[in-house]
Structure 1
Amino acid sequence: MRWQCLMGYAKDGLVQEAMKLFGSMREKGSIPEVVIYTAVDDGFCKAQKCEDAKRIFRKMQSNGIVPNAFSYTVLIQGLYRANNLEDAAEFCSEMLEAGHSPNVATFVGLIDVICKEKDMEEAESVIGKLKQKGYLVNEKAVKEFLDKKAPFSPR
């Protein structure tokens, strides 16, 4: 029940209410903190409150809680869906530095939005930066994903 309230507050943009409930849940320690932080981030992302989502993510890190691959995925997808492309690409790089890789859906989604909102050159630049950080593009998996999940930009 508390989860649903927390998600509802965050999704509705009720930042203060979400943060109060979040604090209460953290104090009780009944749920792993990375899960709580990720849930709050998800709510803020869905409400397109990107600055709040980034702030919560950084607060999680400053409190010594290590984000997992899912935490990064939630934030990156929320950022690119809100056209916050530079931050989404930066968090992708950070995710790689932390030893995690974006899944195919996250990678394709980010690149697709960059192609739509910017251009192919920018998308190629982001792909190059991710490859420099160690991301291995599985072209077969990308093609299979695109075949199943159309419509994406036909580029």
Structure 2
Amino acid sequence: MELFKQMVVVGCRPNEITCSTLIGGLCKTGKLIVAIKFLEEMVNGNKEFGVICRPNIELNKEVSEALSLYREMISEGIRPDVITYSTLLIGFFLIANVKDAQNLVGEMQLNDAFPNSWTYSIVIDELCKNECVLEALEMFNALVNNTIAVSIEGLSSLIDGLCKTVKFETA
């Protein structure tokens, strides 16, 4: 975040790729709240990236706020990318809202933001963490049948989830 701030100070205007990379890194390192705040800054600024930041709120409200921002993006014609969706997915899973997370994956495809290997890894990992190992296995099998690559992290999460639910032969 410091480098991003320095870019703005010296007049180097970050583009969508810079912002998406930063959000992706924040999500991968588990800094969901910071990623959501940064996404808010992007949306509330000049529709590319802005400088407005909202105050801290508890996690359920934060995820609700992020979902509201997402809906606002859609209504204003801003097409969320896979990183935006992945951030929302992480939020839904953090508050154990598995159903909405699964619906969001379908919504991604309807909005032409197709999940990538990282997104599927998030979903498989979080389904396992939320005791939905069979759903994670179904997703994995569907991905393999459609020749979609699954990352080693997603596969490791699935194997871990299967082992924890004593499904050793399947693992």
TM-score by length of 2: 0.58
Q: Aligned match of 1:33 in 54, 78, 81?
A: 81
User: 1:63 and 2:107 equivalent?
Assistant: no
Distance 2:82 2:98 in 1: 18
Supply the AA of the counterpart residue of 2:83: V
Q: Match of 2:36? A: 3
Give the 4+ runs in structure 1 shifted more than 6 A.
5-10
2:36/2:66 contact within 8 Å kept: no
- What is the aligned partner in structure 2 of residue 133 from structure 1? none
Letter in 2 for 1:43: G
**Identical aligned pairs, as a percentage?**
25
Query: Which sections of structure 1, spanning at least 5 residues, go unmatched?
Result: 124-155
Distance 2:110 2:58 in 1: 21
- Is the 8 Å Cα contact of residues 127 and 133 (structure 2) preserved in structure 1? yes
Q: Is the 8 A contact 2:35 2:87 kept in 1?
A: no
Match of 1:43 in 2: 91
Q: Which one of the candidate residues 132, 140, 151 is aligned to 1:84?
A: 132
Letter in 2 for 1:84: C
Contact 1:6–1:22, Cα closer than 8 Å, also in 2: no
Give the alignment's Cα RMSD to 1 decimal.
Answer: 3.0
Structure with the largest fraction of helix: 1
1:79–1:85 Cα contact (<8 Å) kept: yes
Q: When the two structures are superposed, what TM-score results if normalisation uses the length of structure 1?
A: 0.64
Aligned in 2, Cα 1:37/1:94: closer, same or farther, shift over 3 Å?
same
User: Within 5 A, what are the aligned runs for 1:98-117?
Assistant: 98-117=146-165
Which consecutive residues of structure 2, in runs of 5 or more, have no partner in the other structure? 1-33, 41-55
Sort the Cα spacing of 1:68 and 1:114 in 2 relative to 1 into closer, same or farther, 3 A: same
| Number of residue pairs matched by the alignment | 122
Q: Give the structure, 1 or 2, with the largest relative contact order (CA under 8 Å, sep 6 or more).
A: 1
Inter-partner Cα distance in structure 2 for 1:74 and 1:36? 13
- Please report how far the alpha carbon of residue 10 of structure 1 lies from its aligned counterpart in structure 2 after TM superposition: 9.8
- d(CA) in 2 for partners of 1:5, 1:12: 18
